[in-house]
């Protein structure tokens, strides 16, 4: 990458492979991984680059405050934190690193799914409390089940690979990807196949206008079978109220949620928090605190991926 000098605002946790690599290329890294939006205005003004995750919104105002900015690196996949159109108009290159944490997300999704349907989480907590119940914790196997993977980018593909050894039928729907599909999946040209056949539905979609409340009451009503939901994408992909009613009516027989509509729990309004608390009191729901892609290995891989892209300019 030409003219690879200047300051870089590091506004996210990164592995030293990234900062050391940037420094070796002539950049000066400003470490502010817990920077707030307000503080960022004073830090970014003379920066050539910025590394962010979800903490900063690189909107028009912040981009205008950085006249020397040449590139943005996103730890992870969600580019909704950047005004991509405005950045392009200003000649700012934008890089993401979904290759770096897709395996971590896939492993986590599989772990949550097994933890739920085999009652691993629930029965473990019971045993910790001195309760030993076998019949009540009889589980369900994945073999022979049909899963619908919605969104087949890096994480969707990684999840499909993890499922290959479970002798499942894998349906895939992605409105943007219709070719280059693995031989072991069924490429669906509409959601109708998922609605009709899926026992499990897993979301791996980006956050954009048409994915907000993707799972709503209409989606749930179209599902022919009671199903298990997995969401490791973005919290607002799932309408919490619709999910609650789906679980109450047994249309949704289980839910694995690594992301919620509002995070953390303390930021929720009281009504939403009550719904979440009530669902988590049931054996039907497993919730983790947005950690699916948050592994030690993923931190390195995302950092290395960004470094390679920034230096090469691609």
Instruction: For the chain, 314 residues long, give each residue's pLDDT as a single digit of tens.
Output: 445 679 999 999 999 999 999 999 999 999 999 888 999 999 999 999 999 998 899 999 999 999 999 999 999 988 999 999 999 999 999 999 999 999 999 999 999 999 999 999 999 999 999 999 999 999 999 999 999 999 999 999 999 999 999 999 999 999 987 777 888 899 999 999 999 999 999 999 999 999 999 999 999 999 999 999 999 999 999 999 999 999 999 999 999 999 999 999 999 999 999 999 999 999 999 999 999 999 999 999 999 999 999 999 87
What values do phi and psi take at 89, rounded to 5? -65, -30
Beta strands in the chain (DSSP E): 6-11, 27-31, 47-52, 71-74, 93-95, 146-150, 169-173, 186-187, 200-203, 227-231, 252-257, 285-287
What is the Cα–Cα distance from 243 to 220, expressed in whole angstroms?
Answer: 8
Rg from Cα positions in the chain: 21
What is the Cα–Cα distance from 109 to 292, expressed in whole angstroms?
Answer: 7
CA-nearest of 218, 216, 245, 221 to 231 is 216
Given the structure tokens 């749930």, which residue do they identify? 220
Pick the catalytic residue from 263, 278, 297, 314.
Answer: 263
**Span 6-96: which CATH code?**
3.40.50.720
**In the sheet where 6-11 sits, what is the strand order?**
27-31, 6-11, 47-52, 71-74, 93-95
What is the Cα–Cα distance from 276 to 247, expressed in whole angstroms?
Answer: 12
Active site residue 234: yes
SS3 227: strand
Q: pTM of the entire structure?
A: 0.94
Given the structure tokens 């109220």, which residue do they identify? 241
Active site residue 107: no
What is the token pair recorded at 81?
A: 């934190």
What values do phi and psi take at 56, rounded to 5? -105, 145
**In the sheet where 227-231 sits, what is the strand order?**
186-187, 169-173, 146-150, 200-203, 227-231, 252-257, 285-287
- Structural contact between residues 222 and 195, judged by C-beta atoms closer than 8 angstroms: yes
- Structural contact between residues 232 and 110, judged by C-beta atoms closer than 8 angstroms: no
Active site residue 138: no
CA 249 to chain centre: 27
- Would you say domain 100-287 falls under CATH 3.40.50.720? yes
Query: Residues of CATH 3.40.50.720 domain(s) within the chain?
Result: 6-96, 100-287
What is the Cα–Cα distance from 28 to 237, expressed in whole angstroms?
Answer: 38
What is the Cα–Cα distance from 305 to 299, expressed in whole angstroms?
Answer: 10
């Amino acid at each position: 990458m030409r003219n690879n000098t200047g300051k870089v605002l590091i506004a996210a946790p990164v592995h030293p492979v990234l900062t050391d690599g940037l420094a070796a290329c002539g950049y000066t890294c400003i470490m502010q991984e817990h920077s707030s939006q307000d503080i960022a205005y004073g830090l970014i003004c003379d920066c050539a680059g910025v590394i962010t995750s979800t903490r900063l919104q690189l909107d028009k105002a912040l981009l205008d405050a950085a006249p020397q900015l040449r590139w943005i690196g996103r730890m992870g996949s969600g580019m909704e934190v950047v005004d991509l159109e405005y950045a392009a108009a200003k000649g700012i290159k934008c890089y993401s690193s979904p290759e770096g944490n897709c395996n971590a997300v896939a492993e986590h999704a599989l772990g949550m799914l097994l933890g739920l349907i085999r009652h691993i989480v629930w029965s473990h907590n019971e045993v910790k409390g001195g309760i030993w119940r076998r019949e009540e914790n009889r589980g369900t196997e994945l073999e022979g089940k049909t899963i619908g993977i919605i969104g087949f980018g890096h994480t969707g593909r990684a999840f499909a690979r993890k499922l290959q050894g479970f002798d499942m039928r894998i349906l895939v729907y992605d409105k943007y990807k219709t070719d280059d599909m693995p031989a072991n999946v069924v490429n669906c040209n509409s959601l109708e196949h998922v609605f009709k056949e899926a026992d499990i539905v897993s979301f791996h979609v980006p956050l954009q206008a048409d994915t907000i409340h993707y799972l709503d009451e209409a989606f749930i009503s179209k599902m022919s079978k009671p199903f298990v939901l997995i969401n490791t994408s973005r919290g607002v992909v799932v309408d919490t109220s619709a999910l609650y009613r789906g679980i109450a009516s047994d249309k949704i027989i289980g839910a694995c949620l690594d992301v919620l509509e509002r995070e953390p729990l303390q930021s929720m309004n009281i009504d939403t928090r009550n719904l979440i608390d009530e669902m988590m009191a049931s054996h039907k729901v497993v919730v983790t605190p947005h950690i699916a892609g948050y592994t030690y290995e993923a931190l390195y891989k995302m950092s290395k991926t960004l470094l390679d892209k920034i230096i090469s300019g691609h």
